[in-house]
A and B are shown apart, each in its own frame.
Chain A
Amino acid sequence: MPISSLKYLAKISYNDVTFITETVDVFIENTPKEINKLHIAANNQQLEEVSNAAHALKSSLKVMDMQNAYQLCLILENEAKEGGSINIIVEHIELIEKECKQAYKELKAALNTL
């Protein structure tokens, strides 16, 4: 089962291939950096930073139609905001990272079909 799609971007842009391609490129280039920020903040137990970084990442996941990762990110944001367990937080970051890595492959493949 694919965990991402270009549905959202296609709807927003009425299938504007250039826009879709450029936006996916930004996502693939930028998301690893955002996830890295999450790891660093979690390692340093800076929960407010974790919450902010999760919030910032959330919109991107929605745009790439990553429903599951989006929900995980939402939980992560709230968990960090409320000072939750660091183990659970790290676990959530890893799950999000895993989903993102899969999404990069899926989205690249989807771009080839446009």
Chain B
Amino acid sequence: MSSQSRFLIYAVEDDLVFAKMLHYILTLDPEHELKMFKSGIEMLDNLMLNPSLITLDYRLPDLSGGELLKRIRFTYPEVPVIVISGQEDVKTAVNLLREGAYDYITKDEDIRERLLNSISNAKKNVMLSREVESLREELSSKYNFSKTIIGTSSAITKVFKMLEKAVKTNITLSITGETGTGKEVVAKATHFNSPRNKYPFVAVNIAAIPDTLLESELFGHEKGAFTGAVTRRIGKFEEANKGTIFLDEIGEMDMNLQAKLLRVLQEREIERIGGNSKVKLDVRVITATHRDLAKLVKEGSFREDLYYRLMGMPIHLPPLRERSSDIILISKYFIESFCKENGMPQVAISQEAIEKLMTYSFPGNIRELKAIVELAAVMCTDYKITAEDIRFNSLGEEANLFNTEKTLREYTFDIVRTFLKKYDDNVMLVASKLDIGKSTIYRYLHEMKGEEDNNLI
């Protein structure tokens, strides 16, 4: 039996004859590993070996079963404790169960069946708890910052540093960024790296739910609150209690509902539609939008008070074209994950393919890059992606330098700005790429700054 599937039972019994009997019963299942103790203190001294279950004689020479139960629960509250007593005493049994005992069994002739049934049930619970814990760890590891936010560019490093601060508090996050920049991934990573990770992460896409249904979806409703409300239903806010609610596309929310959301955020409680009582909430709120909320406030389609309430820590996710230096790392990560998930041998990527990716503007951002490299991994031959395997299928128009008429000087500045963003502000590299001197770049930067300052005045 592997150490992972072992079920270690501690049995505390001072009577030798009864201990012999317990030993017999508890070792009937070959999966059980048993350790017997004659006193409570002796057992407490061995608790660090992390038993899966403990059976206690109610009365021991050194400690009472009740006292021992309290001490176990204090240190290892998740370990099920079965109290075995010589006499049937309902009051004692009720008190022990209230104190957290898993079961109370008397030393009668049917002890074998009762004890084995109780252990079997406890075992199922322990296995389920272990499974939940392992899935939770897997999820946390999946959303570990180092796995979700890939890149070394200064733009993404800044985001990474902000998120590391954000997870230590309950501050509201407002994530902005173009479509495909990974807003939901960042929201999930924040949740799973925060102390709230044992509770739910609930995502709501405001734009995907009709305005008429959104209030009920968010705050829930009581039975009969409106036609069709045949049962009581809890809303997303209640579902996310103690965890995190992610309100995606918050800029699309109707003005009436914005007022209700503001009240919920201020009062930290909700009232289901058609209900009379309020439900207290402890929820972290993360919002995201691809729109400029400040502009929406100016236009009058987003409440100013809600805007400030939601702002918390603003996190802007840069578009991929502004962090071109990360494209190699992200591409390799996606190719590796894709091959692993599909049981394929690892696929390499040629220098030409990387260069082709680096020249593209990625209007669909990381989501688009992922689709492109995954398709390339499938289409390539001999497990190597070449430039021919990289196909761009962007729906939108690519950003074109000549979309608007500018002066030659403005065009020059645009080119320098674009190259600096693309090469992570590496002046030497940009100068080399543009085949000009680095002092020229510094002169342009100086002039650009002067113009920006003048514009501010």
A12 contacts B111, CB within 8 Å? yes
* Cβ contacts under 8 Å, A58 to chain B: 15, 86
* A63 contacts B86, C-beta separation under 8 Å: no
User: Which chain B residue shows the least CB distance to A24?
Assistant: B17
Closest to A7 in B: B109
Q: Which residues of A contact B14 (CB under 8 A)?
A: 56
Minimum distance in angstroms from A26 CB to a CB of chain B: 5
Interface residues of B in 1-54 (CB under 8 A from A): 13-18, 20-21, 24-25
* B107 beta carbon closer than 8 Å to chain A: yes
A55 proximity list for chain B (CB < 8 A):
59, 86
B61 A59 Cβ-Cβ under 8 A: no
- Residues from chain A with Cβ under 8 Å of B59 in the complex: 52, 55
Q: In the complex where A52-B61, A58-B86, A63-B21 touch, is A12 in contact with B15 (Cβ < 8 A)?
A: no
A11 & B20 in contact (Cβ 8 Å cutoff): no
Name the A residues within 8 Å of B109 (CB-CB): 7-8, 11-12
The listed residue (B16, B86, B110) touching A62 by CB distance below 8 A is: B86
Q: How many Å from the CB of B380 to the closest CB on chain A?
A: 65
CB contact list, B81-122 vs A, under 8 A: 86-87, 107, 109-112
Kindly name the residue among A7, A60, A64 whose own CB sees the greatest number of chain B CB atoms within 10 A. Answer: A60
Within the complex, which residue of A23, A31, A56, A74 is in contact with B20, where a contact is CB–CB below 8 Å?
Answer: A23
Residues of B within 8 A of A31 (CB): 17
Range for the number of chain B residues in contact with chain A: 20 to 34
- Chain A residues with Cβ under 8 A from B20's Cβ? 22-23, 26
Judge whether A59 and B107 touch: CB under 8 Å.
Answer: yes
Query: Contacts A8-B109, A11-B109, A12-B109; is A59 near B24 (CB within 8 Å)?
Result: no
Q: Closest CB of chain B to A5's CB: distance in Å?
A: 11
Q: Tell me, in angstroms, the Cα distance from A19 to B15 when the chains sit together.
A: 16
Please tell me which one of the listed residues B18, B61, B87, B112 contacts residue A63 in the complex, with CB atoms under 8 A apart: B18
Residue A57 interfacial (CB < 8 Å):
yes
| Total chain A interface residues with beta-carbon distance under 8 A | 25
Return B57 CB to nearest CB of chain A, in Å. Answer: 8
User: A23 contacts B15, CB within 8 Å?
Assistant: no
Is the Cβ of A59 less than 8 Å from the Cβ of B17? yes
A7, A8, A19, A64: the one contacting B24 at CB < 8 Å is A19
From A23, A56, A57, residue with most partner B Cβ within 10 Å: A56
B residues in contact with A59, CB < 8 Å: 13, 15, 17-18, 57, 86, 107
**CB-based contact A60/B15 at 8 Å:** yes
CB distance from A102 to the nearest CB of B (A): 17
B21 cross-chain contacts in A, Cβ below 8 A:
9, 12, 23, 63
**In the complex, A55→B18 CA distance in Å?**
12
Interface centre among B13, B21, B59 (most CB of A within 10 A): B21
- Option from B17, B107, B110, B112 in Cβ contact (under 8 Å) with A30: B17
By beta carbon, the residue of chain B nearest A9 is: B21
The answer, among A13, A19, A26, for a CB contact under 8 Å with B16, is A26
Residues of B within 8 A of A22 (CB): 20
Which residue in chain A gives the minimum CB-CB distance to B15? A59
A27 near B: Cβ within 8 Å? Answer: yes
Among B16, B57, B61, B87, point to the contact of A60 (Cβ < 8 A): B16
Whole-angstrom distance between the Cβ of B110 and the nearest chain A Cβ: 8
Is the beta-carbon distance between A12 and B107 smaller than 8 angstroms? Answer: no
Which residues from A are CB-within-8-Å of B57? 59
A14 and B111 CA atoms in complex are apart in Å by 13
- Complex interface residues of chain A between 58 and 106 (CB less than 8 A to chain B): 58-60, 62-64, 74
Q: Which A residues are within 8 Å of any B CB, using their own CB?
A: 7-9, 11-13, 16, 19, 22-23, 26-27, 30-31, 52, 55-60, 62-64, 74
Additional A-B contact list (16), CB under 8 Å, known A30-B16, A59-B86: A8-B109, A11-B112, A12-B24, A12-B109, A12-B112, A19-B24, A26-B20, A27-B17, A31-B17, A52-B59, A56-B14, A56-B61, A60-B16, A60-B17, A60-B18, A63-B17
Nearest 4 Cβ contacts at the A-B interface: A60-B17, A59-B18, A59-B15, A30-B16
